[in-house]
Amino acid sequence: MKSSEHNFVELLQKHQNIVHKICRLYTNDSDAHKDLFQEITIQLWKAYPKFRGDSKFSTWMYRVGLNTSITLYRKSLRRVESQSIEPVAYKLSYEEYDDTKDKQLKMIYEAVHKLNDIEKGIIFLYLENKNYKEISETLGISEVNARVRMNRIKTKLKTQLNS
């Protein structure tokens, strides 16, 4: 048990960026980010005995992390619902969204935050360079559907950015 715990902590420490990135897409402030990070960590640990090593730990993390964010996570009551991205979530690159620095990027992130949970999952995997086969396997939809939805997301983002 101790050794399994040790292995898990080591692997998670190595790949913790994945969890942070998921939290970044699904939350709007640092409290929610911490809450979701904690819940994903707990779910990863609970599911760890089922990790058989036939896939990469990082690939397995994508699945558990997204499942937690889309399905299992119960939003914390203290979480403030807001569409704005607060530049307080740790020391993320939110500073870069400064109007003068990169207005366009700020708008893109805001548009992404307005997507629904499933769309966020698809765009997250896309940003992580996953192909449509991997996206479809993670979400349980067909490859064609993943492609169709990705195209719709692109159109949706374009419409939002141009409006």
Q: Enumerate binding residues for another protein (CB under 8 A).
A: 5, 8-10, 12-13, 16-17, 20-21, 37-39, 41-47, 50-51, 60, 63-64, 66-68, 70-76, 90-93, 96, 104-105, 108-109, 112, 116-118, 121, 127, 137-142, 144-145, 148-149, 154, 157-158, 161
* Sole residue written with tokens 């730990």: 57
Tell me the torsion sign for CA atoms 89, 94, 99, 101. positive
What distance in Å separates the CA atoms of residue 100 and residue 27, rounded to the nearest whole number? 24
Closer Cβ to another protein, 84 or 154, answer by number:
154
Hey, what's the torsion of the CAs at 111, 114, 115, 117, to 10 degrees? Answer: 140
Shortest gap between Cβ of 71 and another protein (angstroms)?
5
Shortest gap between Cβ of 155 and another protein (angstroms)?
9
Q: Where are the beta strands (DSSP E) in the chain?
A: none
Closer Cβ to another protein, 9 or 80, answer by number:
9
